Structures are given as structure tokens and as C-alpha cells.
Amino acid sequence: MRQQCRLLGIHRSGLYYKPVSETAENLAIMRLLDEQYYKTPFYGVRRLTAFLKEEGYPVNRKRVKRLMELIGWETLYQEPNTSAPNVAHKIYPYLLKGLKITKANQVWATDITYVPMRKGFMYLCAVIDLHTRYVLNWSISNTMTAEWCKDVVDEAIRLNGKPEIFNTDQGSQFTSEVFTALLKSHEIQISMDGKGRALDNIFVERLWRSVKYENIYLNVYEDGVSLYQGLSEYFNFYNKERLHQSLGYKTPEMLYTQIAA
């Protein structure tokens, strides 16, 4: 199966992973939370519970917290977050503060986002070059494992070379030895966002906003295959056709191939 997918140029996850099922009401709440995140990412469980009650959903804080965890909602704090980090995994310093990103393959970043579907949900992982906004690789899955994230980045390196710095958040997938060992084996500097900081991961957040408002929210995907096909078309458009104002109305591929060459 792995060899067949490699020959066809597709990810195995797009073939046989099935969306995670939830009740219809929970799916509606999760879709609402996902959209609300881009409006009020600083809301915590108490405010979201009040918001959902105003929308007519009889929820309590325990239920809201569980659904927030499923969609990966991490509240962006207006003040520094003083909560203790996971001592089981090493947290690396944030290396991008004050850094001028001036070329392709200088800094890559990755993250995971929740993808709502008609009868369930999946997760999307993507790797992006920060200077050109070029999406280097992506994949979908119904679980957020460190092994999956490592495979997506490993394939990005095989296809595009390697960056000088790789930036992630402090999610358990990215702080795991499975993930960081890959970067260290390629002698890539590891950078991690500050906990709860809104601006550290802004380029990936902009990518998620674009893919959701320009594709995911406009379509009702039924299964992993249709989701894979839809995202494949979108990322091809995003890289090769979509003109970016921040790039001087050039496409990411135009800038990435021009500078990386």
C-alpha cells in the first residue's frame, strides 16, 4: 500500500482513514467553535460556555472543554501564560524573535488544525516555508500522533531539502522525541512558540484561515477520499495560482522556486 501510494503521489491517510464520528449536535458545536476561534482566540472555556448557551446549546463547562480539546483550541493569552510545561518533553527556545526571514528554506513551520466534515472530522497537518508561504507538504489523519507529524515533515525534507530553522508550537506531537529526533538528525535548529502567544505562529494561522474560509467551509466533505481530493486541488491553487498581497501579488511557488533555485 505504501509503495502504491508513493507511485500515485498520494498520502495513505487520504485513502483509508475515516472521519472521527460525533453526535450531530456536537459536530455543530465544534464547527461553530472552529469558526469562532478566528474571531476570539483569546476566549477560554467559561466565555465559550456562555457564548454557546447564547447560541441555544445546553452545554456545561466540562462538555465545552472536551470539544475544545477535540478541535485543538488553545486559548491565546493576553498576558504571559505561567502554567507549568510538560516536564516529560524538552521545550526548545523561540528563535524567530527579531529574526529577519529573507530567503526560502530559512525557516519552515508546521501545525495541525481541525477539519469539520458532514458526519465527523479529521485533522490536517501542513509544512510551510515562512518567507514564501509555500506549502511544502501536507496530510490528513483522524489522529494527531507524533509519528504522523514526523512523516509529513520527513517527506517535506525529501521533496524540498531542509530548512535552517524549524518552528512549531509546544504541542506534545512536536515536543516528542520522535519528532525532534528527525530535525536533529538533519542538523536543523529547533524553535518553539511561547505558550499561548498569538503572534509566534501567525503565518501558519493565516494559512489555516485561508484554507478553511476558501475551501473547507465552502464544501461539505463526506469522507477522507473526497477531503483529500478537495485539499489537493486547493493547495495546488494556493501554491501556483493564488496571488498573495504580502508577496507583491506573486504566487508562493513563483517566489519559492525563484529564490530556492
Residue range 158-197, pLDDT digits in tens: 999 999 999 999 989 999 999 999 999 999 999 998 765 5
**What CATH code would you report for 107-260?**
3.30.420.10
Taking the model in full, what pTM does it have?
Answer: 0.85
pLDDT-derived band at 18, boundaries 50, 70, 90: confident
**Positions of CATH 3.30.420.10 in the chain:** 107-260
CA-CA distance, 64 to 52, in Å (whole number)? 9
pLDDT-derived band at 20, boundaries 50, 70, 90: confident
Q: At what angle do helices 24-37 and 45-54 cross, to 10 degrees?
A: 120
For the chain, the average pLDDT equals: 87
* Cα radius of gyration rounded to whole Å, the chain: 18
DSSP assignment string, 156-181 = HHHHH---SEEEE-S-HHHHSHHHHH
